[in-house]
Structure 1
Amino acid sequence: MEVVNSFMTWVFKNRIGQIDNFKKYPLETQNLILEDLIELAKRTEFGKKFKFSDIKSYKDFSSRVPIQDYEDMKPLFERIMKGNQNILWPSEILWFSKSSGTTSSRSKFIPVSQEALEDCHFKGGKDMISLYVNNYPDSKLFSGKSLSIGGSLSQNPLDPKSEIQVGDISAVIMQNLPLWVQFARTPSLEIALMGEWESKIEKMAHEVMDENVVSISGVPTWTVVLLQRIMELKKVKHILEVWPNLEVFFHGAVAFGPYQKLFSELIPSSKMRYMETYNASEGFFGIQDQANSEELLLMLDYGIFYEFIPMEDWNNPNHQAIPLSEVEVGKNYAILITTNAGLWRYKIGDTIKFTSIEPYRFKISGRTKHFINAFGEEVIVENAEKAIQRAAEATHATILNFTAAPVYFGDSKSKGAHEWVIEFKSLPSDKDLFISVLDQTLREINSDYDAKRYKDLALSAPKINFTTVPVFEKWLRAKGKLGGQNKVPRLSNSREYIEEVLNLL
């Protein structure tokens, strides 16, 4: 295995020169990407509508093609799902990645082309490994198995008989990996793509616990659930008793900071490494390229052209985007992407702050709206407001204000949850019913929340603090924000606000 490990390390290190090249020539790289995307798509329905053949510069592109969000593009996505092609992208779209929904949709369905799969998602995975082995020359990454915790695939809901499949982007990637990668990973594809999470975790635990697992890739939430189950089955105190050669966890999707202490308990080794990636349904955007830094390198040669909207302009209905050449360090930007899957000037809903422009490194700063995404559940304000309204109606309660935040894993045996502080004018007639309706409504309207709540696998039932004390008025006054346009943050991915409110009860 030493020979295999040395050879594969050498192979992956060869990519470093290309990464250095786009770091040295970032704007030139992005300009070429935009030119290629416009040229390839000029004969699509979208390209003809906006006269791509006449676009000669970024100025032409930005003035001609409108900024769009999911609701704007949804009708075009649905037409593709119903069998129409060459609408947004010239090659055939055979996959749609499913992510958490918008106000009007339980789930979003994002097109994934063959080009996006190979030149973006696969390339991102390979670059993750390239950067890792370059940073850690002593790595034995190829001496054992890589444990991949992915999602599932299902039929096209708009045309079940079509070839198009929908599912989590991790499942789309996993199903299409080349044979040599399938050989190096665990569990089997059959188990990895299962949809029922309780059975999936159980079968996965039994299959992988006797493998020589060297690396893990996945979302922290499900990784914790799996590791806890393996430790129960093996009757051990920590996972290194099962996998002594485990050396790295490649993670993404949610902020890792709150999980750090828990993973230190599960994997008690100062030699354990953690590497963050920024991979979403819409594309693979960033990788932690430095060993001792939390910054992510913006990956510029994946068939994605980037634009940014300064967040101070976000609420301006006429907000304008800027190219990469105009961004500044320390400012908060919403991301727009144009991709090799037919997303054109598309708002993905994430915000970032650049920490460097030579090269372009950044940190994820949040979402364009208040949200909770501590466990991959992506609960947005619209979800919360609809759920709390139904709960109030069912229990004849009158709500004045509320805020909610995550309760993170306290130790290796605990589960996460959401904690709410709700101020009532009149309390619910049945508090247990209120909690139940709120929880069930969130499960109905948000598929990611539902998956995490399934049989309490990753999320326990909501914890609600009921009060008639004017606590939010006290909080606003204490912050010097009483009156005017100041509002209580409905949702937060940290516990900063809720802890302040709880201290006033």
Structure 2
Amino acid sequence: MLNATPLLKLYAKIRRAKLNRTNYAEQQEQELLKLVKISQNTEFGIEHKFNAIKSVSDFQNRVPLRRYEQFWEGYFKERFPKLNNITWPGVIPYFAVSSGTTSGTTKWIPYTHEMTSSNAKAGVDLLVHHVTQNPASRLMAGKSFVLGGSSELVERTPGVYSGDLSGIAVKTLPLWARARYFPPQKLALLKNWEEKIQILGRESLKQNIRSISGVPSWLLIFFEKMTEIVPGSGGKICNIYPKLEMLVHGGVSFAPYHKKFLELLEGSRAELREVYPASEGFIAVGDRSYGDGLRMIIDHGIFFEFVPLEEIDKPSPTRHWVRDLELGVNYAVIITNCAGLWSYVLGDTVRFVDRDPPRLLVTGRISYYLSAFGEHVIDEELEDSVSYAAASISKQVVDYSVGPIFPSASSTLGGHLYVVEFAQAGVSTAEIESFAGALDKRLSERNEDYEAHRAGGYGLNPPKVILAKPGAFAAWMKSRGKLGGKHKVPRIINDTALLDSLRTFAEAYK
């Protein structure tokens, strides 16, 4: 295969120069006004008087925040699947099918040809940052392995398709990328996850794999399978893919997985690189080391707003954008994109660590908010505390979920139930108790409301931890029809029935 890395490095030099002279606020306002102009004759544009919008302020005054359900009920449901000139010009050609991690509600996210270009630009930016930091890179001398869901698409009406985002990505791959993409379509179509990783694993060994990407939990399962396929690998990626340069992860917090991946990458020159994609658009990519924040992409057909989390349900919340965002504030992400979503509440929360350029850390989900008793614990605090507690007993967490335990009587206290799967087998009862104590301590340090509820045992019982044996979470997800690819283990489960289901399954799993 022709090594196209020199061409990538040439583009990277041009792209870096452009990024260095970009005024982020001006660029974002330009992106918004372009979207508004393109869509001014759609039903949505006419309804919101897009022809009178000349600034970000004008836009915010005319277009309120909306959640998916409001778009579905108000604009999509009646005419789905053929949405023609409703919120975006012309017919929407694709819908990315997205299931709510906690609720399980199916969402049909509009995806346009313009979104294909937007995602491609973001993906190339990821490569730009890699070759910038690795001048000797030969990344484009081989293939990129994407461990995603099934690429099968369903034709809902002539010319309109729906399916997994990874399937849409495969169908709309730019010509230059197709020869460098693995797996081929016939393998990407496989639905059975267990069969798929077995076949993909064997076939990938015949390829010059230079990068691999996926959700961390499923990558771990895949690499575990690869140690069986390559018996002499010793569980090290360098012995499986010796020319691997980049391992791309995203979709969930990486904190519980970081140490395990560092062990897998021992002896390898591959670096970890985080991305922040969503069905609604690509938001940010890692341009520095893990934990240093992800650099926002601000010139690819998406306009971003940020609402302080505590205001998200207020009638008139404060709507920040890159011009006036503040560091250290937990924001809900709002997206306006090139697929007809306008001031759309994405559901994620972020915190900025830099303004020039804007860099952020993903802190969780709006719905990932553990506060059944007023303790107001967010996803980021949980991830940090679980990682801290695992390190305190020299273990690594593979997966976990937590939810509230409600009191059985008015005279008793509630608390939190954690179901935790460690990478190591044979974790003792004493270690579990130590883990629970360290977790409780760390959460109290991170969250004043939690500390107040735990003080003296007046508001919350100590956390209860149930040990899930290795493989339990994957088996539970399989039992729910959510094994592999895009599916993610729910971190915070506020649904009592779902939490009981996991608890019962974990206790019975052998």
Asked if these proteins are the same fold (TM beyond 0.5), I'd say yes
Could you tell me how far 1:65 is from its partner in structure 2? 1.1
- Give how far 1:227 is off: 1.6
> Of residues 25, 40, 54 in structure 1, which corresponds to 2:52?
54
Q: Which residue of 1 aligns with 2:11?
A: 11
Offset at residue 257 of structure 1 (A): 2.0
**Match for residue 482 of structure 2 among 448, 451, 458:** 451
Q: 1:97 — aligned with what?
A: 96
1:252 CA drift (Å): 0.8
Q: Deviations over 1:54-113 (max 9, x none)?
A: 222222211111110011111323345322311010033111112222887622111011
Q: Are 2:153 and 2:164, in contact at CA under 8 Å, matched by a contact in 1?
A: no
Change (3 A) 1:189 1:153: closer
Show the counterpart of 1:278: 276
1:201 to 197, 200, 203: 197
- Structure 2 residue matching 1:190: 3-state secondary structure: helix
Q: Compute the displacement of 1:453 (Å).
A: 8.0
Alpha-carbon spacing, 1:2–1:352, altered in 2? closer, same or farther (3 Å): same
CA deviations over 1:291-343 (Å, ceiling 9, x no partner): 46521111110111111111232343432322321211111111111111111
Q: 1:301 aligns with which of 294, 299, 302?
A: 299
- Whether the aligned pair in 1 keeps the contact of 2:398 and 2:423 (CA below 8 Å) is no
8 Å CA contact 1:216, 1:249 repeated in 2: yes
* Deviation by residue 1:275-299 (Cα, 9 ceiling, x = unmatched): 1111111100101112465211111
Corresponding residue number in structure 2 for 1:467: none
Per-residue CA deviation, residues 378-402 of structure 1 (Å, 9 max, x unaligned), is 98x9xx79xx99xx9xxxxxx9745
Task: Measure the CA separation in 1 of the matches of 2:356 and 2:340.
Answer: 29
1:85 corresponds in structure 2 to 84
SS at match of 1:324: coil
Residue 334 (structure 1) aligns with:
332
What is the CA-CA distance between 1:9 and the residue it aligns to?
A: 2.9
Contact 2:81 2:157 in 1 (8 A): no
Q: After the TM superposition, which of the residue ranges 188-197 and 60-69 deviates more from structure 2?
A: 188-197
Of 252, 256, 270, 1:258 maps to: 256
* 2:162 matches 1:166: yes
Gaps of 5+ in 2: 370-378, 384-396, 428-435, 441-472, 496-510
Contact 2:37 2:51 in 1 (8 A): yes
Once residues 336 and 217 of structure 1 are traced to their aligned partners in structure 2, the CA distance between those partners, rounded to angstroms, is 26
Relative to structure 1, is the Cα distance of residues 403 and 450 closer, same or farther in structure 2, using a 3 angstrom cutoff?
A: farther
Distance change >3 Å, CA 98–CA 489, structure 1 → 2: closer
Instruction: Quote the Cα distance in structure 1 between the aligned partners of 2:398 and 2:68.
Output: 19
Kindly provide the amino acid, as one letter, of the partner of residue 340 in structure 2: G
In structure 2, the residue matched to 1:356 is 354
Q: Aligned partners of 1:233 and 1:177: how far apart in 2?
A: 30
What amino acid is aligned across from residue 131 of structure 1 in structure 2? Answer: H
Aligned AA (2:225): R
Matching residue within 407, 427, 438 for 2:420? 407
CA distance in 2, matches of 1:338, 1:376: 35
> What SS does structure 1 have at the residue aligned with 2:207?
coil
- Distance (whole Å) between structure 2 residues aligned to residue 458 and residue 51 of structure 1: 39
- What is the one-letter code of the residue matched to 1:14? I
Post-superposition CA distance 1:245-272 (Å, at most 9, x none): 1121011111112112222332222633
Change (3 A) 1:16 1:293: farther
Secondary structure of the structure 2 residue equivalent to 1:322: coil
Number of aligned residue pairs: 422
**Alpha carbons 1:353, 1:365 under 8 Å: kept:** yes
Which residue identity lines up with residue 258 of structure 1 in the other structure? P
State the Cα distance separating 1:459 from its structure 2 match. Answer: 7.1
Output the CA distance in 2 between the equivalents of 1:36 and 1:453: 38
The 8 Å contact of residues 377 and 449 in structure 1, kept in 2 or not, is answered as: no
Counterpart residue type for residue 98 of structure 2: S
Q: Which amino acid aligns with 1:17?
A: A
**Structure 1: where are the runs of 5+ without partners?**
393-398, 422-438, 463-487, 492-505
Residue 366 of structure 1 deviates from its aligned partner by 1.4
User: Which residue does 2:319 correspond to in 1?
Assistant: 321
What is the SS of the residue equivalent to 1:30?
Answer: helix
Using the TM superposition, name which of 365-374 and 34-43 deviates more.
365-374
Q: Which moved more, 1:190-199 or 1:34-43?
A: 190-199
Does the 8 Å contact 1:91/1:113 carry over to 2?
Answer: no
Spell out the pairing of 1:368-379 with structure 2 (5 A cutoff).
368-370=366-368
Does the CA contact (< 8 Å) of 1:146 and 1:216 recur in 2? yes
- Paired with 1:195 and 1:16, the residues of 2 have a C-alpha distance of 40
Q: Which amino acid aligns with 2:195?
A: S
Whether 1:185 aligns to 2:184 is no
Q: 1:2 to 1:54 in 2, by over 3 A?
A: closer
Structure 1 residue 209: deviation in Å? 2.1
Structure 2 CA distance, aligned partners of 1:412 and 1:208?
Answer: 29
Judged with a 3 Å threshold, the aligned counterparts in structure 2 of structure 1 residues 41 and 3 are, in CA distance, closer, same or farther, namely closer
- Cα distance in structure 1, aligned partners of 2:304 and 2:257: 30
- Aligned-residue identity in percent: 32
Q: Distance in 2 between matches of 1:96 and 1:448?
A: 26
1:143 alignment partner in structure 2: 141
1:203-259 deviations in Å (ceiling 9; x for gaps): 211211232212112211222222221220121312322221112101111111211
Name the CA shift for 1:211/1:193 in 2 (closer, same or farther; >3 Å).
same
Contact 2:244 2:268 in 1 (8 A): no
Question: What SS is found at the alignment partner of 2:90?
Answer: coil
Inter-partner Cα distance in structure 2 for 1:50 and 1:378: 44
Among 215, 221, 227, which residue is 2:223 paired with? Answer: 227
Query: Matched residues in 1 for 2:257 and 2:180: separation?
Result: 27
CA contact (8 A) 1:262 1:411 kept: no
Specify the alignment match of 1:343 in structure 2: 341
For 2:194, what is the secondary structure of its paired residue?
helix
